[in-house]
Structure 1
Amino acid sequence: MVLDQAPPSNSEAETAVLASILVDPEALSRVAAFLQPEHFFENRHQAMYRAALALDERREPINPITLAHELAREDKLEEAGGHAYLSQIVADLPTTVGVEYSARIVERDAVYRLLIEAAGTIARWGYEAGPNLPETLARSEALLLSLRGGERLRDFVSLRDLLESFLGPPDEDGDEGLQEPARTGFMELDQLLVGLKKSDLVVLAARPSVGKSALALAMSRNLAIGQGGKVALFSLEMSAEQVATRLVSAEAEVPSQRLPYGQHTETEEGRISRAIGVLSRAEIYIDDTPGGTVAEIRAKARRLAHEVGLDLIVVDHMQLVHGGAGSGLDVNRVAEMSYISRSLKELARELEIPVLALSQMSRAVEARQPHVPLLSDLRESGSIEQDADIVIFIYREDMYVRQEDWEDMHPESPEGYQRGLAQIIVAKHRNGPVGTVNVRFRRDLAKFEDLLVYTEDAPPPAAALPGVEPDWNGAGADTPPSYLRNDDPS
C-alpha cells in the first residue's frame, strides 16, 4: 500500500530552481514558460517563485535582496524562511547549469501529485456507484486527459523541422540578424512604413475571414526568405502543422485543402517540391501552445532571442492571449487587453525588435456604411490604439458588395468592381504618414500579393487598370476617411 507515503516532491530540485533564479539573470526566462508557482510542493517555495515572477513582471532585478523585499511587501518573508533561508539556498547551489532539468523534476512531481488527487476522485466516484456508468467513465477519462494536456506546454517548432519529412534540412548559413528595418515584402507598404522598425508594436486588425492571418504569414515569409530574418510566430489559433500547410499552399500556389490528400497534377507536384525547398530555408519558429499567457510568450521570446536571435515576433491573435496573474485576477476584459497590449509593447522595446500583434475587430464595422474600419472598431480595444506604434487594417470591398449590386450602383463603370482587391490601411503611424496600399488577395490560396505581380491565374484587378479609380467606401460616399487619403499628414 502507498496511502501512507508522502506525496512526490523534491525539495532539493525546488531550492535549486529558486537559487538559480537568484544568481542567474537568464534562469527565470528558461523555466517560466512551463513552471508555475503551484508546481512547488512547499508553500514557502511557492511564495518565493511568485515573488520572482512579480519582480520579473516589473522588469526589476532578481536577487536575494530584491526578493526578500518583495516577500516582505507581501507579508511572506517570515513564511519563506527570512533572509537566512535565502542566503542558505544560494550558498548550497553547486551550479546554475541544470536549472531546466531541476524545473522539470518539480513540474513532474506536481503532475504526479495531481494524478494521485485524480485517482482519489475517481475512486470516490467508483464507490458512489452511480446509475450512469458511461458518464462516470467519461468524467474519469476527461480528468486524466486534463492531466496529460497540462503536463507540458508545447514549445517552438521550426518550420524547417515541420518540412523535414519532405526534404532534408538545409545548410546553416550563420547569419547574425538584420541591421535594417524588417520589410513586409509589399513594396508600397514598405515605402509608406519604411519597414517595421525595432521596438515597434504593430497591430494588424480585421474582421474574421478577411485575411489577417494570411497577411501576417506573408509578412513572416517575406522577411525570412527575402531578408534572411528570424521570426517567432505564436499561433494561438492554428496548429503548427496548419501554419506550415498554409505557407506551402501560398508558396506553391496550390489550394491548402488539397495538400493533405495528394490530389495534385505533375506540375503542381513540382511547385510543391520547390515551395518546400524555399520554405525550408526560412527561420520561422512556431509555437502553437493554446491559451498562452503574456508571461509565457515573454519567457519563450526571450529565450529564443538569446538562442538564435529574432527579427520579428508575431502573435496570432491578441484576444486569445491570457493576461495571467500579472494583470490582476478581478479585472474586466478591456483592462486585461490593455495589460496585454502594454506588455507586448514592453516586449518589443526590451528585445528591440518589432512585434506584430493580430487583433479582432468589433461587429460595429458590419452595421454601418461604409464598412471601412476605424480605430474605434478594435475589439475590447482598451489601450491597444494608444500602445500601438502602427495600426493596420485590411479592407476588402468584395466581402460586402456583390458584383451584381456594384453594377446596379455604378452602371456607368461596371468594370470597376474590385474583385480580388484588398486595401491595406495604415490608420495610425506614430513616426510617419498614414495611408492606404492596394494589394491583390487570391481567395483560393489565402494569399496577398503586390499588384505588380501578375500570373495567368491572377490577372490585375479592375481597380489596378489605368483609368479605373477604386470606390473606397463602396456605398457612394463623397470622400473616404482621412487615413484613406495619403495626403493626410497626421
Structure 2
Amino acid sequence: TLVDLYKNMQIDVGDLTGIPTGYDDLNRMTAGLQEGDLIIVGARPSMGKTAFVLNVAFHAASAHTATGIFSLEMGEEQLLKRMISSTGNIDATKLKNPKKLCNLKDWEKISQAMGLINDLPLEIYDKANVTMQEIYAKARKLKRKYPDKKVLIAIDYLQLVVGDPKHRGNRMQEIGEISRKLKLMARELNVCVVALSQLSRAVESRQDKRPLLSDLRENGQIEQDADLIAFLYREDYYDRETENKNITEIILAKQRNGPVGVVELAFIKEFSKFVNLERKFIHQQEA
C-alpha cells in the first residue's frame, strides 16, 4: 500500500532530511529531527532523559545546527560539566571536585572537551521560572543570529515552564496551553522543539514498566500537539538481573510522519552518555 511504501521510503533514505541525532537507528527511523516539529521525550526519573537530550543537542550542534537549551532544573555550570563528561569521556564524579580528583590525562580531556563545546553554535539558558514568552523571544533571537542554520530548541522540562496565571489551579489546562504554544512556536519560527516531559506514577504500578502514551502527565493535549513522542526505558533499573545491562530503549510511541518502534542505545552511566549499540561487540566483550 501507499502507506507502507511511504514508511519504507522514510526509513531507507541515506540522506537525513532533518537534524541528525547522533544515533544511526534513530536517524533511520526519523530521517532526522524535523524543523516545525514538536518532539516530546518522556521518562520516569533516573532513566537518563536529561543526559539523552544533552547528547542529542551536542550532536545536533556538532552538525552545525544552532542549538538553544533551556535548562529549567539545572544551572549552566552543572549542565556544562555533564556535557564535558559525555564529550570527553570523563567520569562525572571526578568533575565534582576536579582539582582533587582529576589527573593530568583527565585535564587534557577536559580542556579538549571544553574547546569542542566552546566552538559550537550552542546557547544555554538556565533561568528558572521561564515563561513561554521568554522562550519564544530567545528562540527568535537564535534564529536571527544564525540565519543560515537549522535551529533546535531543547527544553528540560515541559512541566517547569511557567503557565498563564489565568489557569492557576488547573494544571491540565496550564500544561495543555504550554504544549500548544510550543507546537505553534515550532511551526511559526520553523524550528525543531524537543521538550522533556515527566510521566505519571501509573508506570510503576504495572507489571511491564515500559511507558505508554497514556502515561504522559496532563496527557491529552501533549499527545495531540506532538509530532513525535519518544519514551526512555531501562530494564536494568527495574531488574538488576537482566541481561540487558546498560541498554536503554528509545520507544517511538508516536510519529506523525514515520514509523513507530524501538531503538536500543547503550548508556554509559559514568559519562552520562548514550552511544550506538553494537550487539556483536558487546557479546564479544562478555565472552
For residue 332 of structure 1, what is the amino acid of its counterpart? N
Give 1:223's match in structure 2, choosing from 60, 74, 86.
60
Preserved contact between residue 214 and residue 446 of structure 1 (Cα < 8 Å): yes
For residue 214 of structure 1, what is the amino acid of its counterpart? A
Aligned to 1:277: 115
SS in 2 for 1:196: coil
Preserved contact between residue 240 and residue 286 of structure 1 (Cα < 8 Å): yes
Measured in 2, the distance between the counterparts of 1:228 and 1:293 equals: 27
Aligned to 1:324: 164
Measured in 1, the distance between the counterparts of 2:252 and 2:88 equals: 29
Measured in 1, the distance between the counterparts of 2:114 and 2:221 equals: 40
Encode CA deviations 1:223-264: one digit per residue, 9 max, x unaligned: 111x11110111100111111110001111112231242212
Preserved contact between residue 419 and residue 461 of structure 1 (Cα < 8 Å): no
Q: 1:317 to 1:297 in 2, by over 3 A?
A: same
Encode CA deviations 1:80-117: one digit per residue, 9 max, x unaligned: xxxxxxxxxxxxxxxxxxxxxxxxxxxxxxxxxxxxxx
Equivalent residues in 2 for 1:332-343 (5 A)?
Answer: 332-343=170-181
Q: 1:304 to 1:399 in 2, by over 3 A?
A: same
Aligned to 1:315: 155
Measured in 2, the distance between the counterparts of 1:430 and 1:440 equals: 26
For residue 224 of structure 1, what is the amino acid of its counterpart? A
Aligned to 1:205: 42
Measured in 2, the distance between the counterparts of 1:307 and 1:268 equals: 34
Measured in 2, the distance between the counterparts of 1:199 and 1:210 equals: 27
For residue 204 of structure 2, what is the amino acid of its counterpart? E
Measured in 2, the distance between the counterparts of 1:382 and 1:295 equals: 23
Structure 2 residue runs without a partner (length 5+): 1-15
Question: 1:269 deviation in Å?
Answer: 2.0
Measured in 1, the distance between the counterparts of 2:181 and 2:218 equals: 16
Question: Max radius of gyration: which structure?
Answer: 1
Equivalent residues in 2 for 1:297-316 (5 A)?
Answer: 297-309=135-147, 311-316=151-156
Aligned length: 268
Q: 1:453 to 1:235 in 2, by over 3 A?
A: farther
SS in 1 for 2:282: coil
Question: 1:273 deviation in Å?
Answer: 2.0
For residue 279 of structure 1, what is the amino acid of its counterpart? I
Preserved contact between residue 38 and residue 225 of structure 2 (Cα < 8 Å): yes
Is it true that 1:265 corresponds to 2:103 in the alignment?
Answer: yes
Is it true that 1:188 corresponds to 2:25 in the alignment?
Answer: yes
Is it true that 1:214 corresponds to 2:51 in the alignment?
Answer: yes
Is it true that 1:344 corresponds to 2:166 in the alignment?
Answer: no
**TM-score, normalized by length of structure 1?**
0.52
Measured in 2, the distance between the counterparts of 1:359 and 1:349 equals: 20
Question: 1:398 deviation in Å?
Answer: 0.2
> CA RMSD, aligned part only?
2.1
Preserved contact between residue 93 and residue 270 of structure 2 (Cα < 8 Å): no
Q: Whose strand fraction is larger, Structure 1's or Structure 2's?
A: 2
Is it true that 1:425 corresponds to 2:261 in the alignment?
Answer: no
SS in 2 for 1:444: helix
**TM-score, normalized by length of structure 2?**
0.88
Measured in 2, the distance between the counterparts of 1:294 and 1:460 equals: 44
SS in 1 for 2:271: coil
Give 2:75's match in structure 1, choosing from 239, 242, 259.
239
Aligned to 1:452: 278
Preserved contact between residue 49 and residue 232 of structure 2 (Cα < 8 Å): yes
Measured in 1, the distance between the counterparts of 2:283 and 2:230 equals: 22
For residue 97 of structure 2, what is the amino acid of its counterpart? Y
Q: 1:241 to 1:330 in 2, by over 3 A?
A: closer
Measured in 2, the distance between the counterparts of 1:307 and 1:460 equals: 43
Question: 1:298 deviation in Å?
Answer: 1.1
Measured in 1, the distance between the counterparts of 2:249 and 2:200 equals: 19
Preserved contact between residue 167 and residue 173 of structure 2 (Cα < 8 Å): no
Aligned to 1:409: none
Measured in 2, the distance between the counterparts of 1:343 and 1:196 equals: 19
Ranked by relative contact order (alpha carbons within 8 Å, sequence separation 6 or more), the top structure is: 2
State the identity as a percent: 40
Structure 1 residue runs without a partner (length 5+): 1-178, 407-416, 467-490
Preserved contact between residue 295 and residue 324 of structure 1 (Cα < 8 Å): no
Aligned to 2:7: none
SS in 2 for 1:296: helix
Measured in 2, the distance between the counterparts of 1:378 and 1:277 equals: 38
SS in 2 for 1:385: helix
Aligned to 2:224: 386
Encode CA deviations 1:276-321: one digit per residue, 9 max, x unaligned: 1221211110111101111121122112222334510001100001
Question: 1:266 deviation in Å?
Answer: 2.4
Aligned to 1:374: 212
For residue 75 of structure 2, what is the amino acid of its counterpart? S
Question: 1:376 deviation in Å?
Answer: 0.5
Question: 1:330 deviation in Å?
Answer: 4.6
Is it true that 1:252 corresponds to 2:92 in the alignment?
Answer: no
